[in-house]
């Protein structure tokens, strides 16, 4: 019973916290812009408004299924990531599983957007997939560093070892943490890597044909995605959290860093982003691996 | 200097009318036959007037003529030369300046659309600013914008 | 490889106004660009033929929205040339102040637009809100924020109000301070250089041949400025430099505007300090019977976009017989875009347009 | 039940607090939008942000005069937007043609071609006026009075006849044939 209860309650908390983070991001960005900014709970208004809009368009089955696949993929990932002390599913090798599952959400979006028939969406999808190709390599290097350091592929075990040793992984293998953080900027689609949705170039890319409840679902997907990726970072490098509040605070710190970089950076061009990811983070990741071996 | 430019043109072309307008510094207005425009423009271009500022058209409806005005500018002399030529209003045709300046295309396209002047040798006289325009070109003097607006936009369809 | 068509505009974030460019793309690279203007066409040249000389003053400023004052100055100068009058010195200085403030405002807009097009949204927020201080000055001077209807044939409409000079100096000091902030975030930024360097290069010969004017021409290495070459208003009496860069790429086109802002601040300071006393308006005909002797005149000013010219023909009646308006974007927005865009990445299309400072209302009129 | 919730008071309250406008500069009024969106006035504090695509937007701002060429695009854009959608007519030009009342290229009354929910008068309306308009629109939405999109469906024949009167060739929107 508790298990079922959690399977429902965890996603809801994740969505609520994710949306709140999106609101905080908008407020913080506004303050950097020297603006007053929207209320922190603005994303809730937006999502609810979007869900109550009428839809008088359709673009085919995949277009409608895309956001659903996105949400499903993110939810699946979420269940394998320990939140606070609580891990719904935990086993050996779940870190590698999470790496695979994390892609499903984005692929769902890609399928849906590709079905909408808008060239902007198609370009956005191709950019998104190329971006994924670029950040996956340093991301894997960072994660391999963690795995080798703690000699386990279970996220819970990694957290456990960090807590017992008293040293968070970010202090033990700082280079891997740095590489993961750089990759995180691309995963979250923050500048300088918001190439797939660049409004000035391709009119917000994959989302260009999405509106109404589908866009609302995409908002939920975005919040879940945000929550999952931040949670993974906190679990791997910041020693997890004792309860949901400390855990969220740690996530917020990581997220704020991403937001600050987002506010002061122009965006890369796709080829520049690719070169960047396969150069500096990759080199740093390899150096980190060497340190781990020594 | 203005005098230098006037001398230069006079020395090479005999049948041009040169006016130095009052109260206007660094301006030379010359009027030529329509066949001469390209020749004189090429001559001026070779002599430093490399910037084609604009091409425009004036509708002298009482005379039955269109007047084409070409503005050239020299970055060395810092003088604007306006070449003016009158063409027949009933059969408005003029040789294109495309071989001299690529960007004449933009201006000629506009004049073609707004006045209905046809430029010989210009392949790209496609609709430019207006869309689906029928009837007489709007910048001609016999087009009554006020009446058109009243008929088209001031009432609802029945 | 298969090519496909992509519409940039008119409803698009990366377009400089209501304008459209139809791109033919091969993968990520532009093969052919066809600008499609005309969405803002109002038929100004026709409207001006239907209105009296003095009735045209309120409508001319609508031709270029971000930088309206060169239109007013041009129109006034064309009428003055035909009437054979000169505005009094004080009016000339006030015109200079207004024109230069308008240039700074327009350049701040361009910085915002370009920074937005490469994804740096903090800069538009900063520059456009700083531009508001200039609009406040305009409101104090003329009563309007955007359209001023201030420069009349024969002079200007009002004298400087009390406290204007002090307030203007405060704004200039503030802007100067803010330029340092922009430097840190934008002009000196590594990413900005990486994105903008080497994009959309116009070399010196092409620039002259293609009819590029204004800051875009000076970014290509040609030292030409109507303010120096054909002085109008009070520019002949003021001391200022014409900045020139030689790269001719998007980066230089933005940097030259930054240097011009500094020069404009210098010009306004001088004008504010040296403004002579005297009347602000020359005697012009009775507005009810504003008759201009027959003749034609081509006048031009240096707007923030480039050479801005009016060719006015009068046949001795109370309405202009024909007015032709030469907007700088007429070449930049159509011909130059056609030449520059092919070969560039789709990601740079918007950036090139913003760096050229294409102003669609000037093209369509 | 879902339908009644959609049009219900709670849903309307959310709609009034999250008005996304379409990034479409149709006329010179667009020059006052950047100042109202950026630091000095900041429209985002009311939840109003510009959106890149018509599918995502709720509010269509007609910023000033419309040439016939733009009107064609505006109508297509309007029809692409999802219900409920609102139109704000910006400046005198949308009310009676403004200073372009005798121009051959611009329409005079926007109301003939699209249902307008709120008008802003003036040329050009300052950011304060824009704010007032948005707050009025919010009030109308909350009261359920902003019904332009319903009127467009009910009187579609009339609107279409008016549109056809000014378009010589309705067809699809061609870029360059």
**CATH fold for the domain made of B2-153:** Beta Polymerase; domain 2 (3.30.460)
Tell me the two tokens of residue B68. Answer: 């084409």
* Pairwise CA distance, residues A210 & C103, whole Å: 40
- A1 — pLDDT class (breaks 50, 70, 90): low
Does some domain include residue C216? yes
CB-CB neighbors (< 8 A) of C229 in chain B = 78
> Which C residues, 210 through 229, put their C-beta within 8 Å of a C-beta on chain B?
210-211, 213, 222, 224, 229
Q: What is the pLDDT of residue D2?
A: 65
* D84 neighbourhood in chain A, CB within 8 Å: 53-54
Whether B60 and chain D come into contact, CB under 8 Å, resolves to: no
The stretch A174-197 carries a mean pLDDT of 86
Domain boundaries, chain B: 2-153
- Is B in contact with D (3 or more beta carbon pairs below 8 Å)? yes
User: Most D CBs within 10 Å: which of B114, B157, B158, as the mutation test of the D interface?
Assistant: B157
- Residue of C182, C193, C154, C179 whose CA lies nearest to C292: C154
Structure tokens at A241: 């959290």
**pLDDT at C288 > cutoff 80:** no
How is chain A split into domains, by residue range?
2-293
Identify whether D144 is preceded by a cis peptide bond (ω within 30 of 0): no
> Cβ A119–C348 below 8 Å, yes or no?
no
Delineate the domains of chain D, giving CATH numbers in brackets.
Answer: 19-166 (3.40.50.12280)
Partners of chain A (3+ Cβ pairs below 8 A): C, D
User: Strand C155-156 and strand C151-152: pairing?
Assistant: antiparallel
Q: Taking 80 as the threshold, does the pLDDT of residue A99 lie above it?
A: yes
C-alpha to C-alpha distance for A292 and A44, rounded to whole angstroms: 43
Domain span at residue C181?
Answer: 43-362
For chain B, give the mean pLDDT: 84
Q: Higher model confidence: residue B9 or residue C139?
A: C139
Three-class secondary structure of residue B81 per DSSP = strand
Average pLDDT, chain A: 84
Calculate ∠ Cα C190-C193-C195, nearest 5°.
110
Which positions in chain A touch C14 (Cβ < 8 Å)? 199-201, 203
Would you place residue D1 in the very low, low, confident or very high pLDDT band (cuts 50, 70, 90)?
low
Is this prediction's ipTM beyond 0.90? no
Residue of C18, C41, C112 with shortest CB distance to D105? C41
Query: What would the pLDDT profile of B41-64 be if each residue is shown by its tens digit?
Result: 888 888 888 888 888 888 888 888
SS (HEC) of chain C: CCEEEEEECCCCCCCCCCCEEEEEEECCEEEEEEEECCCCCCCHHHHHHHCCCCCCHHHHCCCCCCCCHHHHHHHHHHHHHHHCCCCCHHHHHHHHHHHHHHHHHHHHHHHHHHHHHCCCCHHHHHHHHHHHHHHHHHHHHHCCCCCCCCEECCEECCCCCCCHHHHHHHHHHHHHHHHHHHHHHHHCCHHHHHHHCCCCCCCHHHHHHCCCCHHHHHHCCCCCCHHHHCCCCCHHHCCCCCCCCCCCCHHHHHHHHHHHHHHHHHHHHHHHHHCCCCCCECCCCCHHHCCCCCEEEEEEEECCCCEEEEEEEECCCCCCCEEEEECCHHHHHHHHHHHHCCCCEHHHHHHHHHHHCCCHHHHHC
Alpha-carbon span B37 to B125, nearest angstrom:
20
Between CA D39 and CA D35 the distance in angstroms is 8
How far D12 CA sits from the closest chain A CA (Å)? 8
Backbone angles phi, psi at B80, to 5 degrees: -100, 130
In a domain, C286, yes or no: yes
Strand partners, B28: B81
pLDDT the model gives residue A237: 86
Residue D176 pLDDT greater than 50, yes or no: no
Confidence band, pLDDT 50/70/90 cuts, at residue D171 = low
Substitution target from D44, D80, D149 for chain A, most A beta carbons within 10 A? D44
Report the C-alpha gap between D56 and A199 in whole angstroms: 13
The torsion of the CA quartet C267, C273, C274, C280, rounded to 10 degrees, works out to 90
DSSP helix/strand/coil, D15: helix
In terms of DSSP bridges, do strands D86-90 and D118-120 run parallel, antiparallel, or are they unpaired?
A: parallel
Residue C232 pLDDT level (bands cut at 50, 70, 90): confident
For residue C28, tell me if it sits in a domain. no
By Cβ distance, the residue of A35, A36, A53 closest to D82 is A53
pTM: predicted TM-score of the whole model, two decimal places: 0.89
Q: How far A119 CA sits from the closest chain D CA (Å)?
A: 13
With 0-12 / 13-18 / 19 or more C-beta atoms within 10 angstroms meaning exposed / middle / buried, residue B91 is exposed
Interface of D with B (CB under 8 A): 68-69, 72, 97, 101-109, 112, 158, 161-162, 164-169, 176
Contacts of D176 in chain C (CB under 8 A): 22, 34, 36
Mean pLDDT, residues C81-101: 88
Half-sphere exposure of A184 (CA within 13 A, CB side): 28
Output the pLDDT for position D33: 86
Instruction: Flag if B145 and D108 touch (Cβ within 8 Å).
Output: no
* pLDDT at D175 (0 to 100): 44
Domain tally for chain C?
1
Residue D177 has pLDDT above 50, yes or no: no
Mean pLDDT of C2-29: 83
Rounded CA gap, C154 and C157, in Å? 9
The confidence score (pLDDT) of residue D54 equals 86
Cis peptide before A192 (omega within 30 of 0): yes
Indicate the range of A90-94, C185-189, D78-82 predicted with least confidence.
A90-94
pLDDT of residue D169: 65
pLDDT tens, A250-286? 889 989 999 998 888 888 888 888 888 888 888 888 8
Contact flag C119-A194 (C-beta cutoff 8 Å): yes
C340 lies in a domain? yes
Q: Give the number of beta-carbon pairs within 8 Å between B and C.
A: 96
Task: Say if C5 falls within a structural domain.
Answer: no
**In degrees to the nearest 10, what's the CA dihedral of C327, C328, C331, C337?**
-120
Give the span between the Cα atoms of C59 and C67, in whole angstroms: 14
Verify whether the Cβ–Cβ distance C42 to D34 is below 8 Å.
no
CATH of the domain at C343: 1.10.645.10
Six token digits for residue A285: 């990741």
Q: Provide mean pLDDT across the span C192-209.
A: 86
Report pLDDT digits (tens) over A3-59: 777 778 888 888 888 899 999 999 999 988 888 888 898 999 888 888 888 777 777
Non-local (6+) Cβ contacts of D5 within 8 A are A52, D11
| Residue A140 exposure: Cα atoms within 13 Å on the Cβ side | 12
Is C29 among the domain residues?
no
Closest CA of chain D from A57, distance in Å: 8
């Amino acid at each position: 019973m508790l298990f079922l209860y959690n399977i429902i309650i965890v996603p809801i908390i994740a969505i609520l916290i994710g949306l709140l983070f999106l609101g905080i991001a908008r407020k913080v960005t506004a303050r950097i812009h020297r603006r007053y900014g929207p209320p922190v709970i603005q994303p809730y208004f937006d999502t609810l408004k979007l869900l109550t809009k009428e839809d008088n368009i359709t673009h085919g089955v995949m277009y409608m299924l895309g956001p659903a696949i996105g949400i499903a993929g993110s939810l699946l990932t979420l269940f394998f990531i320990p939140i606070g002390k609580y891990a719904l599913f935990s086993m050996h090798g779940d870190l590698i599983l999470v790496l695979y599952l994390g892609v499903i959400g984005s692929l769902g979006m890609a399928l849906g957007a590709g079905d909408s028939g808008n060239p902007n969406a198609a370009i956005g999808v191709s950019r998104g997939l190329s971006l994924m190709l670029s950040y996956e390599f340093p991301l894997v290097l960072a994660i391999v560093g963690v795995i080798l350091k703690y000699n386990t592929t279970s996220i819970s075990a990694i957290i456990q070892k960090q807590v017992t040793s008293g040293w968070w992984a970010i202090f033990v293998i700082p280079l891997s943490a740095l590489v993961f953080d750089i990759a995180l900027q691309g995963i979250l689609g923050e500048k300088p890597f918001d190439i797939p949705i660049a409004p000035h170039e391709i009119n917000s890319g994959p989302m260009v044909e999405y509106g109404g409840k589908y866009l609302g679902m995409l908002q939920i997907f975005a919040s879940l995605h945000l929550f999952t990726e931040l949670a993974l970072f906190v679990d791997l490098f910041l020693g997890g959290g004792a309860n949901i509040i400390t855990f969220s605070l740690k996530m917020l710190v990581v997220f704020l860093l991403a937001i600050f970089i987002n506010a002061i950076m122009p965006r890369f061009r796709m080829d520049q982003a690719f070169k960047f990811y396969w150069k500096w983070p990759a080199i740093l990741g390899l150096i980190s691996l060497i340190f781990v071996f020594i | 200097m203005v005098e230098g430019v006037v001398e230069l043109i006079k020395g090479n072309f005999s049948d041009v009318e040169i006016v130095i307008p009052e109260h206007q510094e660094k301006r030379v207005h010359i009027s030529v036959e329509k066949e001469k425009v390209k020749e004189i423009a090429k001559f001026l271009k070779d002599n430093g007037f490399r910037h084609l500022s604009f091409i425009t058209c004036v509708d002298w409806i009482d005379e039955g003529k269109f007047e084409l005005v070409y503005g050239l500018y020299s970055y060395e002399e810092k003088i604007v030369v306006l070449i003016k030529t009158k063409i027949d209003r009933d059969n408005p045709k003029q040789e294109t300046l495309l071989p001299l300046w690529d960007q004449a295309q933009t201006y000629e396209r506009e004049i073609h659309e707004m006045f209905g002047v046809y430029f010989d040798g210009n392949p790209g006289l496609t609709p430019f600013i207006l869309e689906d325009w029928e009837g007489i070109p709007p910048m001609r003097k016999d087009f009554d914008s006020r009446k058109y607006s009243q008929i088209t936009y001031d009432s609802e369809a029945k | 490889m298969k090519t496909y068509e992509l519409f940039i505009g008119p409803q698009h974030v990366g377009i400089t106004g209501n304008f459209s460019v139809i791109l033919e793309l091969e993968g990520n690279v532009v093969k052919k660009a066809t600008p499609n203007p005309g969405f803002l066409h109002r038929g100004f040249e026709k409207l001006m033929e239907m209105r009296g000389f003095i009735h045209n003053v309120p409508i001319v400023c609508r031709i270029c929205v971000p930088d309206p004052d060169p239109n007013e100055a041009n129109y006034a100068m064309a009428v003055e040339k035909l009437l054979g009058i000169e505005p009094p010195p004080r009016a000339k200085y006030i015109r200079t102040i207004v024109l230069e403030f308008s240039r700074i405002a327009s350049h701040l807009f361009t910085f915002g637009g370009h920074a937005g097009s490469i994804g740096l949204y903090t800069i538009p927020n900063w520059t456009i809100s700083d531009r508001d201080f200039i609009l406040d000055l305009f409101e104090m001077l003329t009563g309007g924020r955007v359209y001023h209807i201030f420069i009349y044939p024969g002079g200007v409409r009002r004298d400087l109000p009390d406290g204007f000079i002090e307030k203007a100096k405060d704004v200039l000091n503030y802007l100067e301070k803010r330029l340092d902030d922009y430097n840190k975030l934008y002009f000196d930024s590594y990413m900005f250089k990486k994105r903008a360097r080497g994009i959309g290069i116009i070399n010196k010969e092409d620039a002259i041949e293609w009819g590029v004017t204004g800051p875009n021409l000076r970014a290509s290495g040609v030292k030409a400025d109507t303010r120096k070459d054909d002085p109008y208003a009070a520019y002949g009496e003021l001391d200022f430099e014409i900045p020139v860069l030689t790269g001719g790429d998007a980066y230089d086109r933005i940097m030259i505007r930054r240097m011009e802002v500094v020069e404009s601040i210098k010009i306004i300071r001088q004008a504010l300090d040296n403004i002579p006393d005297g009347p602000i308006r020359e005697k012009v005909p009775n507005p009810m019977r504003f008759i201009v002797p027959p003749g034609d005149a081509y006048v031009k000013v240096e707007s923030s976009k480039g050479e801005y010219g009016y060719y006015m023909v009068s046949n001795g009646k109370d309405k202009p017989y024909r007015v032709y308006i030469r907007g700088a974007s007429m070449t930049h927005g159509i011909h130059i875009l056609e030449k520059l865009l092919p070969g560039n990445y789709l990601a740079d299309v918007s950036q090139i347009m913003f760096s050229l400072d294409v102003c669609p209302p000037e093209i369509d009129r | 039940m879902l339908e009644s919730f959609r049009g219900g008071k709670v849903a309307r309250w959310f709609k009034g607090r999250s008005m996304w406008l379409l990034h479409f500069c149709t006329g010179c009024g667009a020059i006052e939008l950047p100042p109202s969106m950026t630091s000095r006035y900041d429209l985002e504090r009311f939840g109003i942000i510009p959106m890149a695509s018509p599918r995502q937007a709720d509010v269509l701002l007609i910023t000033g005069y419309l040439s016939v060429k733009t009107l064609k695009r505006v109508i297509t854009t309007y029809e692409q937007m999802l219900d409920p959608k609102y139109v704000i007519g910006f400046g005198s030009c949308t009310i009676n043609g403004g200073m372009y009342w005798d121009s051959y290229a611009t329409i005079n009354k926007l109301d003939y071609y699209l249902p307008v929910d709120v008008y802003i008068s003036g040329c050009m309306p300052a950011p304060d006026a824009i704010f007032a308009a948005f707050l009025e629109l919010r009030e109308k939405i909350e009261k359920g009075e902003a019904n332009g999109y319903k009127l467009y469906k009910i009187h579609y024949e009339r609107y279409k006849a008016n549109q056809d009167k000014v378009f010589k060739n309705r067809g699809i929107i061609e870029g360059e044939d």
